[in-house]
Amino acid sequence: MENNKRVLVIDDEAHIRRVIELKFKNQGYHVITATNGEEGLDLIKSQQPDVVITDIMMPKLDGRALCERANELKEERPFLTIVMTCRISPTEKDWISQLQDTVFVEKPFSLQTILKCVDHYFGNQE
């Protein structure tokens, strides 16, 4: 099943990028990847993804800064952001809840959960 939705995966860990990429490709999504926040932000601007799945702890531009910049872009073109982290920080949920169309996922995650979350988002849109 082919669909024209574009998913951007931003994580500095290759194996994380790989598993998410595989899962979404198998579901017919178009997947692009970035290895740090800066590269990710450039791709958000140039490739206009429908979903951004990003880590928090990354070189160059961290996940929080990336999400906040992405949030400004969402005023013109809304898209879903999934933030994942393995770090335990009690304040993370607070800033994430302030952002538009942004959800929090614990690492390690269930790919099924992420996929459902994305499907749900598109389901609501249509």
Q: Footprint of another protein on this chain (CB under 8 A)?
A: 13-15, 18-19, 35, 85-91, 106-108
12: which DSSP letter?
S
What string of DSSP letters covers 16-60? Answer: HHHHHHHHHHHTT-EEEEESSHHHHHHHHHHH--SEEEEESS-SS
Could you give the 3-state DSSP secondary structure of residue 115? helix
| Secondary structure element (H or E) that encloses residue 68, with its range | helix 63-73
**Closer to another protein at the Cβ: 18 or 45?**
18
Of 92 and 101, which CB lies nearer to another protein in the complex structure?
A: 92
Cα atoms in the Cβ-side hemisphere of radius 13 Å centred on 56: 19
Residue among 109 and 121 whose Cβ is closer to another protein: 109
- Measured in degrees and rounded to the nearest 5, phi and psi for residue 6 equal -115, 130
Minimum Å gap between C-beta 71 and another protein is: 23
Q: Shortest Cβ distance from residue 31 to another protein (Å)? A: 16
Q: Report, in Å, the least distance between residue 76 CB and another protein.
A: 31
Closest contact distance (angstroms) between CB of 15 and another protein is 4
Q: Which is nearer to another protein, 11 or 50 (CB)?
A: 11
